[in-house]
Structures are given as C-alpha cells and as structure tokens.
Amino acid sequence: MTGGHRSVLRAVVGAVVLSLVVTGCVSLPTSGPVPSAWLHGENGSAQQGEQVIPVPPGSDWLPNEIVEGFLAASGTSRAIARQYLAPRFHWNPGRPTILADTPTYYVPPTVPFTEPGQTKPQVKTYVRVTSKHVETLTAGNIVVSSGPQTFSFTLIRVGGQLRIDGISVAGKPAPSLLLIELPDFSSSYQPRNLYYFPQNGTSTVASQIATTLVPDPVFIQNTAPEAGARQLVMDLLRPPAGWLGGAASTAFPRGTRLLGVQVSGPRAVVDLGGAAVRTGSLQREQMAAQIIWSLTYSPYSAQNATQIRSVVLQIDHHAVVLRQDHKVLPGLRRDFASWVPGTAPASARPAAPPNLYLQAITAPYLGPQVRVRTAGAAPAPAQLPAGLGRGPFSAIAVSPVSSRPPVLAGCRGKNVYVTWMTRAAKPLVQALPAACTSLSWDRSGDLWIAAGPQVYLLPFSAATGLVSPQITTVINPALTGGASDTLSSLQVAPDGVRVAMIVQTKRGSRVIMAAISHGPKSSPVYLAQSSQMVTVGSSITGARPISLTWWDADHLLVLFQPLSGDAQPQLYEVPLNGGPSHQVSTPRGAVSVTAAGTELAVGSTGIPGSLVGQDIYFTNGLDSPWQPLGSGSTAVFPG
C-alpha cells in the first residue's frame, strides 16, 4: 500500500515479534494436518507480539490499496473485510491461503463494460496479487504451490469508491478465497496441539496403551480464552482427521455434548453432557487428560502461551474427582506428565541418563564390536555372541523395552541380526528383500526396518521375549515411489504411533512424518493408512537431510548436508508443526545423530569411504559444549 494508508493497518504491541515472522522463510509444513474447524474462529486479536489492527477503506484509495486493506482485514475481522466488497459480491471465506513471501501487486489498464439490461458503461479495475510461495490449508493437509501463484481481484465503483466485486484464481471464480499474508497469519493464529490416544484395534478404554497421549499439531485463531478453549474441546469430541486418522482416537464417546466452558484467570471449567454421563472413572480420567494437555500446553511459542494452568472437568454440572494412588488430582498437566512420552518435565526424568551404544572401529574380517557408555564412565565392550557375521553393522538399534540383558539389532546388507547382549545368546538372522538402511524399536518391542523404499516389521514374540522370525511387510498407501527411492532413516516416536523418516527420491530428499495403524491381531500394519503424511523441515533450503532422531514429543533433530561447496553438515531442531527450524551447534564432519532426554550424540567421519578417523561426540543439552568420546561409529540410544 502506498503513502500512509498501509501504515495504519498494523500496530506493534509488546516487544517480541513472533519468530514465525522474523524468519521470513517457509513457515508451515508442505503437507500436514490442520483441521478446518481451527480456521473458522470468531474475530479476535493477537494477545502478544505483532497485532494486526484492520481499518475500513479510506476515501479515494487506489486499487492496490483497497486489495491490501482487504487482505489485512481478512485474517482478523471479517466484518471490516466485508466493507471492502461491493454489495452484490458474496464472499464466503473458507480455509486460509497463506502468502509466504512478500507479494507483488499489479494493476493492468482498466476495462470498460456494460451491465446486462443497462446502456451506461462502467469500468472494471483488476488487481493481480502474485506470491512466489503459497501455502494452502486444505482439509487435513497443507499444500505448497510448485511455483508462483497469482490471484485476481475485480474492482468496480460503488458510490464513487472502489470496491471488490470478484476474486478469481487461474481464471476461475473463487468467492471463498481467504488470502492472508504471512505476518498477518503469524499474529492472528497460534500453534497448539490436540491430544489423542493410540488406536490399537481395540477399545481405547480397554487398551494397554490407555495412558499414552499423542500430539496432533494444529493452528488456532487468537481469540478470547473461553472461545479458544471451547474450540479445542469441540475438536477433541471427535476422532482425529487427517494424517492421524485410523491411528489415534478420542476417549470421548460419540454423542458427548459440550455444555459450557468457563475460563477464570488460570483455571478453566469444562462441562460435558450427553453420552459422557454414562462413562466410568477410567474413561473420565482419559477425557480429563486430553482436555488438560490440550488447554494448558503451548508446545511451540512462548509468546502465545496459554494462560490456562488447571482444568476442572464437570459431567452434567457436577465436578469429576480425579484420583491416582488414592490422591485427589488438582487438574494440572503434571498430573498426567507421563502420558505424553518425551515431554515429561526434567524433574520427572530418570536421575541416570540412558546408556549410549556405539560400534568400535574394527577390521572387516572381525565381527561387530559394540561398546556401551554408562553415566560418568568410559565406553566399555558389550558382550556379544558369535554368529553376527563379519565387519561392522551398517545400522544398529537397542530395544527400549526393559530386559536384562539388553536386546541389540544390527543389519548388514540384506541381513538383520537380533540378539541379547550376552555371549551365550543365539542370534536371530532375518533376510530382507533389499539392503537394510535403518532400524528402530518401538515401545512394544517390535523392530522396524527400512530397506529400499519399503518398511518391514519383526513383531515382538511373547513366547521368546525377542522378536518373531516372521517378517511383516508394512503397508504404506501414501508412499508410492519407485524402486529407486530409499528410506535412508526411520525412527519411531516414543509414543509408538508416529514415525519420522528421510525419503530419498530422484527429486531430492525430505523429512516426512506418518502414523502407525495397528488393527486387530493378525491384521495388516499400516503407515499413513489415511494416505496422508506430513513434511517438516522445509524451511531448510540448499541442503539435504541425512540423519534424524526424536528430540522430544514436538521436535526432531535433523542433520542436513549442504548441496554445494565444502560447507559442513549442520544440525537443526525441527518443530513438527512446520514452524521455523533452529540451528544447533554441530561437531565438524557429523554424519549421524541420536538423542534421548537431554542427552545428544553425533558420529563424525574422517577419511571418506573409510572407517579411519570416525569419532563420537556427546553433549547434555542443545546449548552445552560437545565432548569427544573417542573413536567409533553408529552411536545410538535405546529406541
């Protein structure tokens, strides 16, 4: 907008501008779950950071000023936005389309026209808005344009003033287009999580995973606390859509009604009716856990932190008393801290850090040599049986399931070896259709294997306490790449529902997220059963991902290799909602990364194509200095 018109459309309140605005990079995932209900909130204003203050159109505004003013109002006040429209134009805004780059405005010459049945000619004015990068929020997905996209606005004179009479995209009318510039989206919406339970082919209440919550990243419009809390709870009443569909469910029975939400300072009171009246104590505890986590936790932005700290659940106007270990719970998030694996507060984490396992450098004709580092001690040799083949493993993984001795999985070529770490063990050897590239255990004791473009599973065997020798092919309807595609890294989240993978194709590499769907016993296992996956880390350009690990329930640590020059690999903390990634101090020559709790280790390479010079570095926290652990490769924490 020219002159002083554009300047009156914004005001800055507070000293902190959202990091999403500061980066100016890709701010959302290239695909991912944003339920449409989140994008239809009532008008509200940002509570912190940059606040958009829309104004009505001014007298004699120019065409591009009218369109810019309309876009500035679209994300915050539909009532003011409609003042920019001609009376006959019916605008029915849907889900946002975000202009992720600074758009350009072009006003071509005006075109005279005559309305049907009239003789007096009028003049149509067009304004074309073009953005090099556009992100469209669709039902359950965020789709990024493959190139620049142009939106056309038609303006006519109404009472002597220009007003918008139509919107089109690619020559087709688009009366439901909600076009928002990135700073406006960043100040009008905030990232949050919805929390659901794993769906394991059985009733959620009767399941052994009834106390595990899975986060689903969403964006909500900044509103009054009660309006935001109401929308959160309304979405929790239904099973998740999008990428978690079929993999997670809700504890709220069908037919539950929301009777009311009241927020008074840091406390929220949620009153349920309908089918919720017939629920038992365990199910009510689950419903409370979903509500408490969803209302009290702000996973990505301290500037937009929720003010709600505690929740009182009511059923038909009567307070539900929550008890654990014969104690009444106050309705705080800490009451259910262990229900979200990887997000427990530091005080709830084990005092002793987990063991770190790494391969020692050995000659090819020797079997693999694994060393284990315990807290405060130098790495010591682990006890391994014979029969593990020659040379080091290309990948290793140690089961997080408590067992003595621990269970090691390693692969070399098309063979996977699984064994207890004791010299008397008899290893299980399983042949694969393709060369193994990555291994990961889940919390149930199942071993996940990436080989070529396919994922395989060696399920836990209760009879042996190890894994079954019967390999299972995991069905993935969303990943339909060719035989040349490779899953170079695969890591199952601590919740056992989400999987992070690096997919290498002819067009490049990307980090994707998918959900695990377990049906009833003996039924197929799916990845991305809903045919939807999430791409994260897309703000990192000019580099390809080469290794990843889970950092917490809401972030990955991903190692990127620059595509050109002699630049060194760089580690990034990558949020799972598609927000901007942040660089992490990285040892020179890093080629792999592993993490658990606050512990972090990387493997670095020395001479290319050789084991000579490979070293392991270790740190406790992203801001702590790196310490060398000595020679070795393929370091892993259990998982």
Q: What is the pLDDT of residues 384-403, one digit of tens each?
A: 999 999 888 999 999 987 76
Residue 621, pLDDT above cutoff 50: yes
Strand partners, 552: 555
- pLDDT, residue 407, reads 94
128/237 Cα distance (integer angstroms): 42
Confidence of residue 196 (pLDDT cuts 50, 70, 90): very high
- CB-based contact 527:534 (threshold 8 Å): no
Please, which contacts does 426-433 make with residues 24 or more away whose CB atoms are closer than 8 Å? 426/385, 426/387, 427/385, 427/387, 427/388, 428/466, 428/467, 428/469, 429/387, 430/458, 430/469, 430/471, 432/456, 432/471
Same domain, residue pair 339 and 364: no
Same domain, residue pair 404 and 297: no
Same domain, residue pair 214 and 270: yes
CATH number at residue 441: 2.120.10.30
Confidence of residue 584 (pLDDT cuts 50, 70, 90): very high
- Better pLDDT: 477 or 166: 166
Same domain, residue pair 586 and 526: yes
Task: Render 104-132 in DSSP notation, one character per residue.
Answer: EEE-PPPEEE--TT--S-EEEEEEEEEES
Domain boundary among 343, 373, 398: 343
Q: What is the mean pLDDT of residues 70-92?
A: 91
Residue-wise burial string across 226-258, b where 16 or more C-beta atoms lie within 10 A, e elsewhere:
ebbbbbbbebbbebbbbbbbbbbbbbbbeebeb
Q: What is the mean pLDDT of residues 418-444?
A: 93
Helix (H) or strand (E) holding 187, with range, is helix 182-188
Q: What is the pLDDT of residues 519-542, one digit of tens each?
A: 777 678 998 888 888 888 877 888
What DSSP character marks residue 24? -
- Residue 35 inside a domain? The answer is no
- Residue 527 inside a domain? The answer is yes
Question: Which tokens go with 391?
Answer: 């040379």
Q: Among positive and negative, which fits the CA dihedral 536, 542, 546, 552?
A: negative
- pLDDT, residue 22, reads 26
Same domain, residue pair 262 and 392: no
Residue percentage of the chain with pLDDT more than 90: 47
- pLDDT, residue 47, reads 35
- CB-based contact 219:192 (threshold 8 Å): yes
- Residue 154 inside a domain? The answer is no
- Residue 232 inside a domain? The answer is yes
475/25 Cα distance (integer angstroms): 34
Q: Is the pTM of this model over 0.85?
A: no
* Lowest mean pLDDT across 9-23, 261-275, 470-484: 9-23
Q: What is the pLDDT of residues 481-532, one digit of tens each?
A: 666 778 999 999 999 999 999 998 887 888 999 999 987 776 789 988 888 8
Residue 417, pLDDT above cutoff 80: yes
Residue 175, pLDDT above cutoff 90: yes
Same domain, residue pair 558 and 597: yes
Same domain, residue pair 376 and 457: yes
Same domain, residue pair 198 and 233: yes
Q: What is the mean pLDDT of residues 602-631?
A: 78
Q: Give whole-number Cα distances, 26 to 23, 135, 182, 190, in Å.
A: 8, 9, 10, 16
- How many structural domains is the chain composed of? 2
Nearest CA to 469 out of 415, 541, 515 is that of 415
Q: What is the mean pLDDT of residues 541-547?
A: 91
| Structural domain for 385, as ranges | 356-636
403/408 Cα distance (integer angstroms): 11
- pLDDT, residue 148, reads 82
- pLDDT, residue 478, reads 75
Same domain, residue pair 233 and 323: yes
Same domain, residue pair 378 and 500: yes
- Residue 285 inside a domain? The answer is yes
Residue percentage of the chain with pLDDT more than 70: 82
- pLDDT, residue 5, reads 43
- CB-based contact 461:437 (threshold 8 Å): no
Which residues, in sequence order, are CB contacts of 351 under 8 Å at separation 6+?
A: none
- pLDDT, residue 350, reads 53
Q: What is the pLDDT of residues 197-216, one digit of tens each?
A: 998 654 343 344 689 999 99
515/534 Cα distance (integer angstroms): 9
Domain boundary among 317, 343, 369: 343
Residue 348, pLDDT above cutoff 60: no
What DSSP character marks residue 484? T
- The three-point CA angle 27-32-36 to 5° equals 100
Q: What is the pLDDT of residues 449-463, one digit of tens each?
A: 999 889 999 998 888
Q: What is the mean pLDDT of residues 116-126?
A: 74
- Residue 594 inside a domain? The answer is yes
Question: Which tokens go with 181?
Answer: 């510039």
Domain boundary among 292, 312, 343: 343
- Better pLDDT: 31 or 283: 283
Same domain, residue pair 338 and 400: no
Helix (H) or strand (E) holding 502, with range, is strand 498-505
Q: Give whole-number Cα distances, 365 to 154, 187, 390, 396, 427, in Å.
A: 74, 60, 5, 18, 19
What DSSP character marks residue 85? B
Residue 297, pLDDT above cutoff 50: yes
Residue 262, pLDDT above cutoff 60: yes
405/355 Cα distance (integer angstroms): 13
Q: What is the mean pLDDT of residues 257-280?
A: 96
- Residue 61 inside a domain? The answer is no
- CB-based contact 378:420 (threshold 8 Å): no
- Residue 121 inside a domain? The answer is no
Same domain, residue pair 265 and 404: no
- Better pLDDT: 173 or 135: 173
> Could you give phi then psi for residue 355, rounded to 5 degrees?
-70, 150
Q: How far is CA 207 from the centre of its chain?
A: 25
Beta strands 178-181; 96-99: pairing state = parallel
What DSSP character marks residue 556? E
- pLDDT, residue 241, reads 79
Task: Render 306-322 in DSSP notation, one character per residue.
Answer: -S--EEEEEETTEEPPP
